[in-house]
Amino acid sequence: VFPFVKFHLSPTMSRRTIRLVAAVALLPIACSFAVPSSIARMSRSLGAVLPPGSRSMRSECEAPVAPTMALGKKSTAKDVIDAFNRDLKGKVAVVTGGNSGIGIETVKALASAGARVVLCSRSVEAGEKAVEDYVRASEGREIQGGYSVPSADVRVVQLDLADLASVDRTVKELEGEERIDYLVLNAGVMAGPKRTTKQGFERQIGTNHFGHFYLTKQLLPRMKEQEDPSRVVVVASTAHQFGSLDLSDLNYQNGRKYTPWGAYGQSKLANILFAKGLNDRLKGTKITANCLHPGVIATPLWRDTASVLAKFIMPLLMKDKTPQQGAATTVFACLEDGAKVAGEYLDDCRVATPQKSALSVEDRDGLWEATERILAEALSVKEEAAAAR
């Protein structure tokens, strides 16, 4: 396990952290595959995201309302909805990667409070199936996650964050929505072999950061025109501590050594720096941005990982939340008062402190400038290719 961890995570990790990962992977096996709660707590310290009646309601047009019950690690997305007790009718949420894992849980929870949700998925068919099977539980389907939302107002649109042209098409599709109150940047890929996006970006930072940056930049003008406050919520990860930022070689094109987990860590570090940088630039507007760690969850995010051990065994041994619990902090970030929580990193429905590397204002601004430059170069090439046709 020790060589596996060192190879698949990051060559910059300390030996102490690597030993801890290896210990977490081996201890349950030694205990007849039983995973006691103490091991689950140990796994969380590693920082790896292992992929997922009636009631009175209060409108968000009124003064912000604090949650009516304590929220924490084991709270579910539905618990958060119930705690805030807020009527979201008339609100519109856009959720990327909404067809599975914590994405579909986020869609379901927001829809249960009356929000209209635009579910963005690489496959429209997969997105529509997830809505019918999991959210609405239509035509006698089994109710999953403890509840269903038969009347859920969910629209599915196609979005491939690994292709800037697809992002352009999605932005065009979203022009049909009257407003965007919650922009949830949830989609991502994790720890796969080295690949590139349509525009030649390293796939993990290309999908997890560049694609979301480009989408957000195009949607912000209309969000700024809205009268009501709105939120940008970035699903990051405590796995940001596995990565380091190389602003001169973000795409591993100039000799930088690629490791699946090191590249994933860089992309998650970029998520945090982006959210904080975005919030800096939104001061004076009615938009706030936050980022979060959802928890250690076994979800389809694991499908791209590079080995059998990483794909099947580690998610089972190290998870500490269900997908329902994993979506709780995302929903909390949507509903919490933006005047109190802005530009923050959240974990277990509360403000937390990320690694020191995620707090660098210099890296925050440097990443923003590098991202704009890289995107501009890619878009210029795209325009030249279109003109040539």
34-90 pLDDT per residue, tens: 333 333 333 333 333 333 333 444 444 445 677 878 999 999 999 999 999 999 999
DSSP states along 312-365? IIHHHHH--B-HHHHTHHHHHHHHS-TTTS-S-EEETTEEE---GGGG-HHHHH
What is the band of 15 on the pLDDT scale with cuts at 50, 70, 90?
Answer: low
Is 161 domain-assigned? yes
Known catalytic residues?
Answer: 264
Tell me what the pLDDT averaged over the chain comes to: 84
- DSSP conformational letter for 131: I
Domain count, the chain: 1
β-pairing, 92-96 vs 154-158, is unpaired
Q: What separation in angstroms does the CA of 359 have from each of 110, 271, 275, 298, 310?
A: 30, 12, 11, 28, 29
Is 56 domain-assigned? no
Is 50 exceeded by the pLDDT of residue 242?
yes
pLDDT for residue 68: 73
What average pLDDT does range 189-198 have in this prediction?
Answer: 93
Return the H-helix or E-strand segment holding 157.
strand 154-158
Is 60 domain-assigned? no
pLDDT tens track for 92-139: 999 999 999 999 999 999 999 999 999 999 999 999 999 999 999 988
| Higher-confidence position of 328 and 296 | 328
| Higher-confidence position of 388 and 299 | 388
Q: How many other C-beta atoms can be found within 10 angstroms of the C-beta atom of residue 194?
A: 13
Q: How many other C-beta atoms can be found within 10 angstroms of the C-beta atom of residue 182?
A: 23
CA atoms within 13 A on the CB side of 48: 35
Range of the domain at 148: 77-382
Question: Which CATH number covers residue 351?
Answer: 3.40.50.720
Is 279 domain-assigned? yes
Query: Can you tell me which residue has the tokens 């030996």?
Result: 15
Tokens of 13: 């990790």
pLDDT tens track for 288-327: 999 999 998 865 554 565 554 554 555 555 667 999 999 9
Is 58 domain-assigned? no
Is 68 domain-assigned? no
- DSSP conformational letter for 257: P
pLDDT tens track for 198-236: 999 999 999 999 999 999 999 999 999 999 999 999 999
pTM of the predicted model as reported, rounded to 2 decimal places: 0.83
Which residue, 242, 224, 244, 236, is CA-closest to 288? 224
